[in-house]
Amino acid sequence: MKTSLILALLLTTSLSVSAAEKKVVFVAGKPSHGPGEHEHRAGCLLLQQCLANVPNLQTIVVSNGFPSDPSVFDGASTIVIYSDGGGGHPAIQGDNLKILGKYMDQGVGLVCLHYAVEVPKDDGGAEFLKWIGGYFETDWSVNPVWTAHFNKLPNHPITRGVKPFAIKDEWYFHMRFRDGMEGVTPILSAVPPASTMDRGDGPHEGNPAVRKAVKNHEPQHVAWAYQRPDGGRGFGWTGAHYLRNFGNDNFRKLVLNSILWTAHIEVPPNGVQSHVTEADLLANLDNKGGKKPSMKLPAIELEPEPYTSPVTGR
């Protein structure tokens, strides 16, 4: 009888440990932009919903910026930040960089979505290069809205089950990466059309270096994976200005796969399976006034592929 009781207790304890084996903490930024744009809380809750059927995974969503009690990160396998960035980035307020650094040193993964990939060069830039392999640097990177055609995908766990696709978003590009792309694997790359350089030069709009890159039809990496030397993992994703784009199965699956990969969870052969409806996308919007935005994906306006001369390669 005692032996049976001990075995039962051991089994129960084993199952309890297994059930909380991995933990993902989402940091959703404060309300920003217009309805349907920069919907940080709604986006994090949607991704949490899509991960609900992943075995042995606990997910927590912290709303309105960096948690007041950072112990919520204790035991986390990865942290996902979807928020505004720049000088208002939650990671650079107060001692937050130091707090995050403690968890990064423990091998915790980090996923940064859209504006959350931007931090000031002298206040977070070095850390983001170390943690996710790249970031949006003002006066170097740009933030136009354009239709990116992802015709080829690399062989990587994050791309499992993802098919080539095209989608319109505010895809930042010309990112600042680690020297020689050390440890960085481009996940989504596309050639921006000339229209992305219609704006004048400025901190986010353009500069001679990026104009030259666009003129030369150089593919730009708008999502990337980073394998840190210490075993930790990072992922940067410049899209998701529009919440509705999470309604695209390939767009959404890439982000979900990246969360598992950075948490050191084996990505399924066909990627994370999930289904999202328009009602799901509308469920948790911030109260920004006005009518609710449409979550129907707009028809993609196919743009001609940039011409490449067989003689000059340009």
CA pair distance 248, 274, nearest whole angstrom: 11
pLDDT less than 50: residues of the chain:
1-19, 302-314
Count CB neighbours of 60 within 10 A.
15
What's the confidence (pLDDT) of residue 311? 39
CA pair distance 169, 166, nearest whole angstrom: 10
Tokens representing residue 98 in the block: 């130091």
What's the confidence (pLDDT) of residue 298? 74
Bridge partners of 106, per DSSP, are none
Please tell me the class of the 20-282 domain.
Answer: alpha beta
- Largest Cα separation within the chain, whole Å, is 83
What's the confidence (pLDDT) of residue 301? 54
The whole-angstrom distance between residue 10's C-alpha and the CA centroid of its chain comes to: 39
What's the confidence (pLDDT) of residue 304? 45
Cα 207–Cα 201–Cα 140 angle in degrees, nearest 5: 35
pLDDT in tens, 16-37: 334 458 999 999 999 999 999 9
